[in-house]
Structure 1
Amino acid sequence: MGIDMATNGTQLPEKQKAAQFNPKDQTVSINEIPIPSIKPHEILVKVKSASLCHSDLMLFEPNEQNLTLGTGAPFTMGHEACGTILQLGSDVQGFEPGDNIGWLPIVDCCYDCDGCQVHNLHCENGTPQVQGMSVDGYFQEYVAIHWRNAAKIPAGMDLSTLAPMFCAGCTAFNSVTDTVAELKGSEPAETWVAVVGCGGLGHLGIQYLKAMGYKVIGIDLSPDALEEAKTQGADHVFNPGTEEDYIAQIKQLTGKGVHAAINYTNSVPAYSSNPSLLRTNGVLMVTGIPQKPLQFSAMDISMNRIRVRGSNNGTTPRLRECLEFSGKYGIKPHLTRYRLEEFGEMLGVMREGRGVGRLGVVFD
């Protein structure tokens, strides 16, 4: 039995609408489903906003990442969301009804093993699943989440646009802080970082880098994304589709090449060109996940001409750090809002690469 103190006596509805993916025919429809009942370790949340991530498109595409993305009944899409606690399971610790929270999407993991300290998908004791990728996610008004995935949102942050923070935001934050750790000893004001892909992840990565004082070059094929990059503070932007000599221009601008490049794209050609951007011993941060394997020169890596590292959305302690930093420095996602009934249109915009920033549903 959950503790319920946030509904002020209001009876919750029995049903809700949800944007669901059908694995059998790879279609999406708005279905009516029950309000979830929470287990002792779960929190019932009234969702304020939920947003699309580019990795949601993996549901519709074959992949070579050994990801199983739903095999049975329809399930609710979405793994980025935030909202307000309505009910607490009996085992929940550190939260109260009425708290504003965001959360990470991995469930059926132990949270305590060595694998979970790296990423909950590496759990050695459970069978991890991603909410929104194989079990119900967050494009529905009421969701049940594991309390150990949750983090409180600092006062003053706008829940109606904050959903992207809980995948795009924390991934961008972790990629930047992991890059900074590799650049230890470098003076930020004299250090160049290329952000490759200035969309949903990149526009947040630029904000984090500028908040930390770094010089930023934005690289993207979309003129709209490059305008957004400039709005978020990028010092220079380049379009490889229209500026064939952009690598030479960047080397001239930076002297020897950038100190680091953070790739947020799912483009193999973009990754293939990244080593050419880097100065000797520069860092390539692998963050975006293409459907095809990447190839890098073993000589370049073994001789330390480049350093290849990886970063992801991380674990709950890192999510808390991201929220604290974002609240302090006013980091905000750019969210284009849709209604749940417009989910198909929103999905089409993302699939065609026409969106700027992030796309999401805001609930009343």
Structure 2
Amino acid sequence: MATNGTNGVQLPATQKAAQFNPKDQTVSINEIPIPSIKPHEILVKVKSASLCHSDLMLFESNEQGLTLGEGEPFTMGHEACGTILQLGSQVPTFQSGDSIGFLPIIDCCYDCPGCQIHNLNCETGSPKVQGMTVDGYFQEYVAIHWRNAAKIPSGMDLTTLAPMFCAGCTAFNSVTDTVAELEGVEPAETWVAVVGCGGLGHLGVQYLKAYECKVVGIDLSPDALEEAKAQGADFVFNPQVDGDYVAKIKAITGGRGCHAAINYTNSVPAYSSIPALLRTNGVLMVTGIPQRPLQFNAMEISMNRIRVRGSNNGITPRLVKCLEFSHKHGIKPHLTRFKLEQFQEMLDLMHSGKHKGRLGVVFD
């Protein structure tokens, strides 16, 4: 039985969704109800939803605080964009038909000091991540909190834009935070190493080049390095092939090393290798999250040999800036498209690391 949408649009009663089962860590395509919205929510017709490397944390043991428990299956995915179909009674600003993208944190207050840094830091609520513990976006219709939403500038292609709402804003924030740390250094004279040139890294390269920085791409995947070069990286290195890559990087940076390195990988060894790439007082930007805690040399930090900073996908005001900057500079994700029924194939490809850019589902 169909339900009425906004402006007479007829919605189906159910939809298919790619769901993760915490009990046995499997994924299946299930038939689930179309969500009904609360007064503060927006019903979105999803155009595209993309897979993030952090989604793989659902299948891996970790020491970083992700606890799945023995709950019921939930829909995966925390990167998506689409068009507004319905608005709750308490939703301001937006209109039916608006194209929006959105962040995935719910059950937070959005207003406390913690929420001004990241909504997972909420001091009054019990924040949850859509797609990680509650229903996410690998389904055609989703309900999202209006305060997570940002309007998409006219002319941006929703078909390939889903990665912008985690990978894109994370890469943008990591680059803008790095540039801010390097205040006083002319961007055209700034060397930044991008460690991990895949889903986040290929966007990080684009943002750095928009700032006119010099970029060194580092990855173990030839496909990822090829994509980094295509996006403007000045040099690329594969540590498994270029055994003396650190010396080569020192040589091209005038013997001193990079001003900064942004690590988009979840590799502890990758983090351990970064200090050797940096010049004195260089910035190590922590963005990728390994399954195990990191260790840094306290002497190097205490003596300002390196500076360790962190960046993430941020909050909605930063997402708005990301979209505006991306639209102005023509920055686009590289998305390989799949059907929802191909979800396991997409997941296997992500596990293999043999892909360029991002992988995502595009809905009709």
Shorter-chain TM-score bucket reads over 0.9
Counterpart in the other structure of 2:251: 252
SS at match of 2:138: coil
Query: Residues 127-156 of structure 1, C-alpha deviation per residue, up to 9 Å, x if partnerless?
Result: 000000000000000000000000000000
Residue 57 of structure 2 is aligned to residue 58 of structure 1: yes
- Provide the C-alpha distance between the structure 1 equivalents of 2:52 and 2:235, rounded to a whole number of angstroms: 26
Give the Å deviation of 1:71. 3.2
Residue 15 of structure 2 is aligned to residue 16 of structure 1: yes
Q: Counterparts in 2 of 1:262-273, with a 5 A limit?
A: 262-273=262-273
- Structural RMSD (CA): 1.1
- Provide the C-alpha distance between the structure 2 equivalents of 1:11 and 1:60, rounded to a whole number of angstroms: 37
Q: Is the 8 A contact 2:261 2:283 kept in 1?
A: yes
Q: Counterparts in 2 of 1:200-349, with a 5 A limit?
A: 200-255=199-254, 256-349=256-349
- Provide the C-alpha distance between the structure 2 equivalents of 1:326 and 1:348, rounded to a whole number of angstroms: 30
Q: Is the 8 A contact 2:106 2:129 kept in 1?
A: yes
Give the Å deviation of 1:295. 0.8
Give the Å deviation of 1:70. 5.4
Q: Counterparts in 2 of 1:62-81, with a 5 A limit?
A: 62-69=61-68, 71-81=70-80
- Provide the C-alpha distance between the structure 2 equivalents of 1:69 and 1:334, rounded to a whole number of angstroms: 30
- Provide the C-alpha distance between the structure 2 equivalents of 1:321 and 1:11, rounded to a whole number of angstroms: 34
Counterpart in the other structure of 2:100: 101
The residue type equivalent to 1:257 in the other structure is G
Q: Sort the Cα spacing of 1:5 and 1:186 in 2 relative to 1 into closer, same or farther, 3 A.
A: farther
Q: Is the 8 A contact 2:4 2:10 kept in 1?
A: no
Counterpart in the other structure of 1:176: 175
- Provide the C-alpha distance between the structure 1 equivalents of 2:4 and 2:178, rounded to a whole number of angstroms: 43
Give the Å deviation of 1:67. 1.6
SS at match of 1:91: coil
Tell me the TM-score normalised to structure 1 length: 0.98
Give the Å deviation of 1:83. 0.1
- Provide the C-alpha distance between the structure 2 equivalents of 1:116 and 1:164, rounded to a whole number of angstroms: 23
Q: Is the 8 A contact 1:5 1:97 kept in 2?
A: no
Give the Å deviation of 1:258. 0.3
Q: Sort the Cα spacing of 1:78 and 1:117 in 2 relative to 1 into closer, same or farther, 3 A.
A: same
Over the matched positions of the two proteins, sequence identity in percent amounts to: 81
Give the Å deviation of 1:11. 1.2
- Provide the C-alpha distance between the structure 2 equivalents of 1:144 and 1:345, rounded to a whole number of angstroms: 26
Q: Sort the Cα spacing of 1:30 and 1:319 in 2 relative to 1 into closer, same or farther, 3 A.
A: same
- Provide the C-alpha distance between the structure 1 equivalents of 2:359 and 2:141, rounded to a whole number of angstroms: 19
Q: Is the 8 A contact 2:37 2:43 kept in 1?
A: yes
Q: Is the 8 A contact 1:6 1:85 kept in 2?
A: no
Query: Residues 21-55 of structure 1, C-alpha deviation per residue, up to 9 Å, x if partnerless?
Result: 00001000000000000000000000000000000
SS at match of 2:143: strand
- Provide the C-alpha distance between the structure 2 equivalents of 1:111 and 1:134, rounded to a whole number of angstroms: 19
Aligned residues: 361
Q: Sort the Cα spacing of 1:249 and 1:30 in 2 relative to 1 into closer, same or farther, 3 A.
A: same
Query: Residues 245-285 of structure 1, C-alpha deviation per residue, up to 9 Å, x if partnerless?
Result: 00000001101100000000000000000000000000000
Counterpart in the other structure of 1:36: 35
- Provide the C-alpha distance between the structure 2 equivalents of 1:148 and 1:276, rounded to a whole number of angstroms: 42
Q: Is the 8 A contact 1:104 1:149 kept in 2?
A: yes
The runs of 5 or more residues in structure 1 that have no matched partner are none
The residue type equivalent to 1:14 in the other structure is A
- Provide the C-alpha distance between the structure 2 equivalents of 1:243 and 1:323, rounded to a whole number of angstroms: 36
Counterpart in the other structure of 1:156: 155
Give the Å deviation of 1:107. 0.2
Give the Å deviation of 1:354. 1.3
- Provide the C-alpha distance between the structure 2 equivalents of 1:332 and 1:71, rounded to a whole number of angstroms: 38
The runs of 5 or more residues in structure 2 that have no matched partner are none
Give the Å deviation of 1:5. 10
- Provide the C-alpha distance between the structure 2 equivalents of 1:40 and 1:203, rounded to a whole number of angstroms: 38
Give the Å deviation of 1:10. 2.7
Q: Is the 8 A contact 1:5 1:87 kept in 2?
A: no
- Provide the C-alpha distance between the structure 1 equivalents of 2:261 and 2:108, rounded to a whole number of angstroms: 32
The residue type equivalent to 1:181 in the other structure is A
Give the Å deviation of 1:6. 7.3
Counterpart in the other structure of 1:166: 165
Q: Is the 8 A contact 2:192 2:214 kept in 1?
A: yes
- Provide the C-alpha distance between the structure 1 equivalents of 2:354 and 2:62, rounded to a whole number of angstroms: 23
SS at match of 2:8: coil
